Structure 1
């Protein structure tokens, strides 16, 4: 769990300049927003966005888990295993919801 938390944090850190650039471009004008929408229509870009969404959601859920561990809740081996399963399940479900929305299911 710890290594996945570090990997997701690294993905977020490395992608931050790119995401800030895209945010800046999308807020500049209506024309740049339309070009951003066209850029996001590419399936490869959607997959990259999905990976970054998983990274954010997993990092967020794992961060909450580590905060709970810092307050000495579920510190046992069994408690740690259960909370790691919960983190994987919740972040996976949230990522599936994002994927459905991203690829137009609803």
Structure 2
């Protein structure tokens, strides 16, 4: 192994391409979804158990900013995950596989993810 190769361990100086950023965000959104399921499954169980349980979950969500923020994060992650998944399906069909077109579709997915995030935020806090 060549010991004289350059090694850059300063993370703030590394410039990742947009395709790598889109891929990393896709993986991060998957982790967010899995972590959020640990909170949403018990909440679903409580809300479907009885009318009183539903009312308690409804009042908790409508009055608690942290609960609204978690729901917004879950919906944002799910929206981005779906868009990035569509990107992968399109690329698996043989489209946007070159570097320039791959960068274009990655920018579109990130842009649509931001729009989805803003729409979900407006829906939750409006």
Give the structure-2-normalised TM-score.
Answer: 0.77
1:25 matched to 2:46: yes
In the alignment, the residues of structure 2 paired with residue 15 and residue 86 of structure 1 have an alpha-carbon distance, to the nearest angstrom, of 26
In the alignment, the residues of structure 2 paired with residue 33 and residue 95 of structure 1 have an alpha-carbon distance, to the nearest angstrom, of 26
Q: 1:65 maps to which residue?
A: 87
Structure 2, unaligned stretches of length 5 or more?
1-21
* Rg (Cα) greater in structure: 2
> Which residue of 96, 102, 106 corresponds with 1:80?
102
Measured on the aligned residues, the alpha-carbon RMSD in Å equals 1.1
Number of residues of Structure 1 aligned to a counterpart in Structure 2 = 104
SS in 1 for 2:97: coil
Structure 1, unaligned stretches of length 5 or more?
none
In the alignment, the residues of structure 2 paired with residue 44 and residue 18 of structure 1 have an alpha-carbon distance, to the nearest angstrom, of 12
SS in 1 for 2:120: helix
After superposing on structure 2, the runs of 4+ consecutive aligned residues of structure 1 that deviate more than 3 Å are: none
In the alignment, the residues of structure 2 paired with residue 86 and residue 27 of structure 1 have an alpha-carbon distance, to the nearest angstrom, of 38
